[in-house]
Amino acid sequence: MSLFKVDNISLHFGGLRAVDDVSFAVEKGEVFTIIGPNGAGKTSIFNLISRLYNPTSGTLTFEDRDITAVPPHEIASLGIARTFQNIELFENASVLANLLVGRHCHTTTSIWNELLFLPSVRKAELAHRRAVEEVIDFLGLQKYRDMLIAGLPYGVRKVCEVARALCTEPKLLLLDEPSSGLNVEETEDMAYWITDIKKDLGITVLMVEHDMSLVNRVSDRVLALNYGKVLASGTPSQVQSHPDVIAAYLGG
């Protein structure tokens, strides 16, 4: 039983086939990477999984449950979290506030309790804070805790995106181009973190990536897309030596 399955999913915008009959399965505990040129439909697949788009046809199955019609705000409580390619953090809030929003799907308090701020709410807040602090320690964001996002450098914002997704305590983590815009050192750190997420936290990672060295380093399996269609699928070395993939994307 795979953790997450995509069956014959298609997304058509009028005549444009952003995603054309794509199928794959992600096993529990692995790092699965999707590669392909720009416009191949990789982020569209992520948007389909987060239910920000509705597929034209096909199904999505998570833990043997059909999630094709689930509304977008229920995806987080199911255990799927994502980061965004062009950072969607809350600009006017501190890092801590952003991460605490990540805990929203674990809210236990009702609005009446919150308006009066009963002791149960205070206890819940402290519990959320402790959970968030663990993620901050994991990713080394201590010194940025109280700073507003608007003043932070790009590399730190990328890490905050991942941190916020981790705060939801997901079973499946969708990383959209985690290393884009990062320098060599920051990409190294990202590679270590992805491996730690897989090994220490036991979270399955589904990733879109362009940096082939990062892909080779952390991925267990790779899927190559072009023009919305699947080109090849398998281990990193298998996909990278596939003639279609070399012709469409890798070159050389």
Partner 1 sequence: MFDFVQQLVNGIAVGCIYGLIALGFVLIYKATEVVNFAQGELMMLGGFFAFTFMTLMGLNYWIGFLLAVICMALLGSAIERVVVRPILGYPQFSIVMATIGLGFFARSIAGMIWSTDDLKIETPFSESVTENVVRIGGLVIADDKVSIIVATVLLCVVLYFFFSRTRMGVAMQATSQNMLAAYYMGIPVKRVFSMIWAISAAVACFAGILLAPSTLIHTNVGFLGLKAFPAAVLGGFGSIPGALVGGIIIGVIEALAGFYLPQGFKDVAAYIVLLLVLWFKPEGLFGLKMRKKV
Partner 2 sequence: MRFIFKTDYDQDIRLLKHSGYWWSYGVLAFLLALAPFVLGGYLLSQLVFVYIYAIVGVSLTILTGFTGQVSLGHAAFLAIGAYTAGFLQSLGVPFVVYFPAAAVITGAVGMVVAIPALRLTGIYLVIATIAFGFIVEEVAARWEAVTHGNEGMRVRTADLIAGINLPRDEPGFYFLCLGTLVAAIVLALNLARSPTGRAFMAIRDSETAAKSMGVNLALYKVKSFTISAAITGMAGVLFAHKLSFISPEMFTLVLSLEFIMVIIIGGIIGLHGAVLGAVFIVMIDPFLTLLKDDVPTLISSLMLAFGAAEQTAAGVASSIGDIGAAPGMKGALYGLIIIFFIIFEPYGLYGRWLKVKLYFQLFPLYKKATFKRQKTYVKSERNR
Stretch that binds partner 2, among 33-41, 70-78, 215-223, 225-233 (CB under 8 A): 70-78
User: Which of partner 1, partner 2, none sits in contact with 125, Cβ below 5 to 8 A by type?
Assistant: partner 2
Whether 137 contacts 143, CB under 8 Å: no
Using rule CB under 8 A, residue 201 touches partner 2: no
Using rule CB under 8 A, residue 75 touches partner 2: yes
- Residue by residue, DSSP assigns 98-120 as HHHHHGGGG----HHHHHHT-HH
Using rule CB under 8 A, residue 135 touches partner 2: no
Identified binder of partner 2 from the candidate list 115, 151, 153, 185, rule CB under 8 A: 115
**What residues between 163 and 192 interact with partner 2 by CB under 8 A?**
164, 168
The CB-of-76 to partner 1 minimum distance in angstroms stands at: 15
Whether 78 contacts 70, CB under 8 Å: yes
CA distance 240 to 70: 35
Q: Tell me the longest C-alpha to C-alpha distance in the chain.
A: 65
Using rule CB under 8 A, residue 129 touches partner 2: yes
Using rule CB under 8 A, residue 154 touches partner 2: no
How many residues does this entry show for the chain?
252
CA distance 95 to 126: 17
CB hemisphere CA count around 126 (13 angstroms): 6
Q: Which residues pair with 232 in a beta bridge?
A: 224
Q: Which is nearer to partner 1, 46 or 144 (CB)?
A: 46
Using rule CB under 8 A, residue 68 touches partner 2: no
Task: Indicate the Cα dihedral angle 242, 246, 248, 249, nearest 10°.
Answer: 120
Interface residues with partner 1 (CB under 8 A)? 43, 47, 52, 84-86, 88
User: Which of partner 1, partner 2, none sits in contact with 89, Cβ below 5 to 8 A by type?
Assistant: partner 2
Q: How buried is residue 78: exposed, middle or buried, by Cβ count under 10 Å (0-12/13-18/19+)? A: middle
Q: Which is nearer to partner 2, 110 or 183 (CB)?
A: 110
- Interacting residues with partner 2 (CB under 8 A): 50, 52, 71-77, 81-82, 84, 88-93, 96-97, 100-105, 107, 109, 111, 114-117, 121-122, 124-126, 128-130, 133, 164, 168
